[in-house]
Structure 1
Amino acid sequence: MESLRRREGVDEVFDDVVVETCGVECADLVEGLVSSAMSWFHGYYARSCLESGVCNATIVKERGEVVGSGLYFKVLIEPEPLGVVYYVVVKDAFRGLGYGKVLVSSIEELLSWEGVKYFIATARKTNKPSINMFKSLGYVVIELTELNDLIEVIRYVACSYDDDVLMIKGESIKEVKDVEPAVRYLMKLRHNRNVVRDVWERICHKPWVNLQKQRSF
């Protein structure tokens, strides 16, 4: 694992917090964290994304104890790549303390080093803590029903069939209510359907097929 210390964009000061980055080597750890925070089904998809080579992970630790994890990946949308914040989970005992912000801010920084200027995440409308966290970090929040013919391509690129809210942040989006430039960027997903479909195949469809095969035995 590589260590990354993050302060910018986070209100709280964490003197004993370290964020580490990793790939498939931490699949067991990430699967356990996601399964515990959400469900075994989400843990399975988190692990599959790491094993596919699409996802990388961030692990946040306090005084050496693992507190939470975030999964993310880059999509080579032309002309401006997209960063997807796939999962962010924090252990129950540490929720509400700002660790989710640490993870998201670290993911943004890591992806920015790779030239990414636009970021998305998805959630359910009922997940108010997650939505409020992303809003506090400057994300525009849009209900998927407002995006009409973009809904399918967003669900493909984020493998987010259970979610109904999109959060997006980017270079041309200056205000948290700046929906129009957000939609303009999202339109580019439709012009990169082959790239989007490849991501969907690797992180969403193939894991689903493999899961059905396992269940058939």
Structure 2
Amino acid sequence: MEVGSRELFSEAEEVLREAFGSSFRYARAVVDYGVASVAVAKLGGEVVGAVVFYRASFPRVRLCVIYYIAVLEGFRGMGLGSVLMSTAEEVCADTDLYIATTWYGNDAADALYRSLGYTAYSWDELRRLLGRRVVDRLLKATCGYDDDVAYVKPNRGDDPLELLRLVGYGDEEEVSRLWRETCLYTWLRIRGRA
């Protein structure tokens, strides 16, 4: 397992492109913005899996966002996704909560996250439990979509909903800037509007 940032993204790019199509550019955006780390899994010198993750800090809670994770189809079922996730969690050991998002129906991601102790929530469910302000900030921090599923896992056994509630405190300028630079502007470029 290798961990780095920009220097490793070129190795991870093909795996991410194959798994996510043009959406891999969102992963590139957080790496280029300088906030993300990249871990790659290699077998026989070939990159067969990758994870892109970053920290999103709020005044009272620190999140580790597992942004993109992929393992090439021929190498799935070997535990590489678990190893990549564990690597991201180890690098982010100083955070309070791990969070990942994916689309409904992504059964492989759902099985992986649940096997590692993550709890799944719809954004509507979180909105009812935590309020719109918290969810709006989380959507920005994760570059998530309202129809995604959020998977959360506390780092030290705390109540994940109590930790998420802390996102609502303080200024959100840092997370808004991250969202603009890595989500909104990337979305506009993909659609030829920027």
Cα 1:49–1:163, aligned 2, differ >3 Å: closer, same or farther?
A: farther
Structure 2 length-normalised TM: 0.88
Deviation at 1:28, TM superposition (A): 2.8
Q: Secondary structure at the match of 2:61?
A: coil
Distance 2:193 2:174 in 1: 31
Output the aligned Cα RMSD: 2.0
Please list the CA deviations of residues 135-160 of structure 1 after superposition, one character each: whole Å capped at 9, or x if unmatched.
Answer: 11111111212012243222111001
Cα 1:98–1:57, aligned 2, differ >3 Å: closer, same or farther?
A: same
Deviation at 1:36, TM superposition (A): 0.4
Q: Secondary structure at the match of 1:86?
A: strand
Among 10, 17, 27, the alignment partner of 2:9 is 27
Structure 1 length-normalised TM: 0.79
Larger RCO (alpha carbons 8 Å, 6+ apart): 2
Please list the CA deviations of residues 116-137 of structure 1 after superposition, one character each: whole Å capped at 9, or x if unmatched.
Answer: 1311001112011211111111
1:125 is the counterpart of 2:104: yes
1:38 is the counterpart of 2:20: yes
Distance 1:216 1:144 in 2: 28
Distance 1:216 1:62 in 2: 39
The 5 A counterparts of 1:1-217 are 19-40=1-22, 42-112=23-93, 115-148=94-127, 149=132, 150-161=134-145, 163-171=147-155, 173=157, 181-192=159-170, 193-212=172-191, 215=192
Distance 1:205 1:62 in 2: 35
Distance 1:184 1:195 in 2: 21
Distance 2:34 2:56 in 1: 13
Please list the CA deviations of residues 77-122 of structure 1 after superposition, one character each: whole Å capped at 9, or x if unmatched.
Answer: 223311000000000101122111000000000111xx11311001
Q: Structure 1: state its 5+ residue gaps.
A: 1-18, 175-180
Please list the CA deviations of residues 183-209 of structure 1 after superposition, one character each: whole Å capped at 9, or x if unmatched.
Answer: 221122222422321221222123234
Cα 1:123–1:216, aligned 2, differ >3 Å: closer, same or farther?
A: closer
Percent of residue pairs identical: 28
Cα 1:59–1:143, aligned 2, differ >3 Å: closer, same or farther?
A: same
Distance 2:87 2:70 in 1: 14
> What is the identity, as a one-letter code, of the residue corresponding to 1:54?
V
- Whether the aligned pair in 2 keeps the contact of 1:141 and 1:165 (CA below 8 Å) is yes
Q: Secondary structure at the match of 2:92?
A: helix
Distance 2:124 2:150 in 1: 10
